[in-house]
Amino acid sequence: MESQFQSIPIVGGGYVTGLFAHPTEENLFYARTDVGGAYRWDNDNSMWVPILDMFGSDKHEYYDVASIALDPNDPNVVFAAVGRGKKYNILRSTDRGNTWTETNPPSDVIILGNAEYRWCGERLAIDPNKGSIVYYGSASAGLWKNTDPTKDKNWIQIPLSQVPLQSGDGNKVGITFVAFDQNGGTDETGATKIIYAGLFGNGETDGIYRSTDAGRTWELVPNSPKNPQRGIVASDGTLYVAHMKGVSKLSRNGSFIDISDGLRRGAYCGICVDPNDPKHVIVAQQNMNSHNNLYRSTDGGETWTKITCIRGTSPEWWPEWFWFARTSSIMMNPFNTKQIWYCDWYGIWRTEDVTAEGGAVFNAYNKNHEELCIATVCSPTSGETRLFSGIHDVTGFRHVSLTEIPEKTLITDSEFNEITSYAVFELDSNIVYRVNQSHEKLTGAGYKSTDNGKTWQRFSPSLPKDYIGGKIAVSSEDPNILVWTPVNKKAWYSHDGGSTWAPCDGISINVVTTVWDAARVQLAANRKGRTIFYIFRSEIGFYRSMDNGKTFQHIKNGLPTAYANCFSVKAVPNQDGGVWVNIENEGLFKSDDAGETFTKLENVKAAQAFAFGKAKPGSKYPATVYLFGRLNTDTQPENRLYMSDDMGKTWRRINDDNHKAGKLVCMDGDGQVYGKVFFGTSGRSIYYYGPGE
């Protein structure tokens, strides 16, 4: 069967921060997420199609989406504000997100797709009367305008004397929304006259700003609500604002009115208005917990009815609290206003009739919405399990199928909600170890399975709970001999399957230094023959234990000792003493003598990650090698995915320009199927490349 790129179905699990319906084309919906890119709805197949997967490792920040805007007069045009830190952009597509061009705003325009108040919106807005005008409200640099986004770097800042910066020293929230009153008239150029912008801050300057001359001048609307989160203009020109203390509205020629009576007091964010009835409004309460309330008004907010929300179908592994948790956005289908969508911390839900007697049944609609941050992937060489995954915030899974959603997570103790490492005994895949952590509570534990991961028992519960996460490895000869490198602890060994532990001698550093060290595999065990353990950190060098983990020795083998963001050490399957190391921009190094000497692969320029998988049938080599990096012949800025059947002598590219993997943090070759490899990403869950299932 032809090889292909696929996502392993897990479904949802990450924060969906916005939903969008095109007003003139039926079933044209979009969704944005904080770390997993953006999606377009495929109504025929009831699934979401990712539309940012063409961005690679050099632009992995683009998977953090701060805002989306649709051109109401052209269903093919969509804009997306993406990025964080020093890598961000405002993207424009004329083919519904299949391809993108960068509009390149100035460096002053900070875009924070994964920051506090990422649920606000929408900061991007296209003039409904003149589609060549686009506004963007930034987090820390005010309001910006583009009068021709087909030109590069054509963004102009609205004077700060008119729309100021956020005050205070808290989170940089800034401009939370821009909204047009489409029916408020146009100026001589055809641009919409009345525009609103919400400024979230801590002082007298925050509130709602309004322009009545197509954006030439702006003023703060008197008595406007503080700390606005979302704003939407109804067909009669009424502006509805969801803010931190409730909901308010502003008629075109009136003043702000608080319409929170009848609502549970507190913060509100999600809000939608019937395009055919300006008094039909739905709002969502917002707090950190699940079970946020929805309210509906048919009289413009004079009275509210709490909607009875009934949980319908969802993936079996989703816990009870995956339900109206910090609700961010509500979307009304403009062609069927009884159909309401909402999104939250964990996914996307839809009801077919928000007015139904007895309550509105919400079903999860997340097929192909894969938005998890992966800590580790591990593919056994035998047994029913095809893949073990470790995932931040939701523990991890035992995947016996690559096409079916797992029924449950590997939660044993709910306190330790992340798996950071697995170790499978090479001679019997029924024996598996794993280590867990909670990065919030800084607690952890370790577990053992003797049935290929079906059931687990905690090992050494006497260890303090601050022995958390990190990496674990098991001997190739004896399943009871282990080495564990917990976060911010020295290396430890066990000779009784984890019941008791003792510190390893000869290595005084804390090998794993943070709870986020998923991209750095610092510990490995020889996979055939002798019991040998390896520890490697790029800045301090290579260590080896030949006495069952009791003692490690620093082996001076010529490896570079420079700090690197991404490095790892992995043993070669089916080769006694075969061990390889990657050091990001230094490249890929291999050893056939248990690390005594290393040879650099001269054809590899940079190696962010690598993995071994099942060898090609009939091959004389012990394994297939997979690489996420750059070859000497590469000129592109991003890393590519390669595979080699001859242990790195030659390589062939296996990804394409539509699947660049973004921020890949871990990988493992399929231990049972030649040509298949698994990629764990930071936000786009797990891909695999290889023969279809």
Computed over every residue of the chain, the mean pLDDT equals 94
Which neighbouring-strand residues pair with 628?
609, 641
pLDDT surpasses 80 at 461: no
CB 179 within 8 A of CB 231: yes
pLDDT surpasses 70 at 600: yes
The mean pLDDT value for 301-318 works out to 97
Q: pLDDT (tens digit, 9 = 90+) per residue, 256-276?
A: 999 999 999 999 999 999 999
Give the pLDDT confidence score for residue 609 in this predicted structure: 96
pTM of this prediction? Answer: 0.95
Check if CATH label 2.130.10.10 holds for domain 3-364.
yes
CATH class of 374-691: mainly beta
Separation in Å, CA 351 to CA 47, 172, 275, 338, 457: 16, 34, 18, 8, 41
Which residue has tokens 């203009």?
Answer: 233
pLDDT surpasses 60 at 168: no
Could you tell me which of 574, 527, 568 has the C-alpha nearest to residue 377? 568
Instruction: Centre a 10 Å sphere on the Cβ of residue 205 and count the other Cβ atoms it contains.
Output: 15
Radius of gyration, alpha carbons of the chain: 27
Which band of pLDDT confidence, cut at 50, 70 and 90, is reported for residue 245?
Answer: very high
The mean pLDDT value for 584-605 works out to 97
User: Is 399 in a helix, a strand, or coil?
Assistant: strand
Name 241's Cβ contacts closer than 8 Å, sequence gap at least 6: 198, 208, 224, 225, 228, 230, 231, 247, 248, 249, 250, 256, 271
| Domains 3-364 and 374-691 belong to one CATH topology | yes
Percent of the chain residues past pLDDT 90, beyond the cut: 86
Higher-pLDDT residue of 562 and 457 is: 457
Q: pLDDT (tens digit, 9 = 90+) per residue, 99-158?
A: 999 999 998 888 999 998 999 999 999 999 999 999 999 988 999 999 999 999 999 999
Give the pLDDT confidence score for residue 313 in this predicted structure: 97
User: Is 569 in a helix, a strand, or coil?
Assistant: strand
Instruction: Give me the residue spans of the domains in the chain.
Output: 3-364, 374-691
Give the pLDDT confidence score for residue 128 in this predicted structure: 98
CB 436 within 8 A of CB 420: yes
CB 349 within 8 A of CB 362: yes
- The DSSP call for residue 517 is G
Helices (H) and strands (E) in the chain, counts: 0, 56
pLDDT surpasses 90 at 2: no
The mean pLDDT value for 450-465 works out to 89
Give the pLDDT confidence score for residue 171 in this predicted structure: 62
The mean pLDDT value for 460-478 works out to 90
Which band of pLDDT confidence, cut at 50, 70 and 90, is reported for residue 439?
Answer: confident
pLDDT surpasses 60 at 636: yes
Give the pLDDT confidence score for residue 440 in this predicted structure: 82
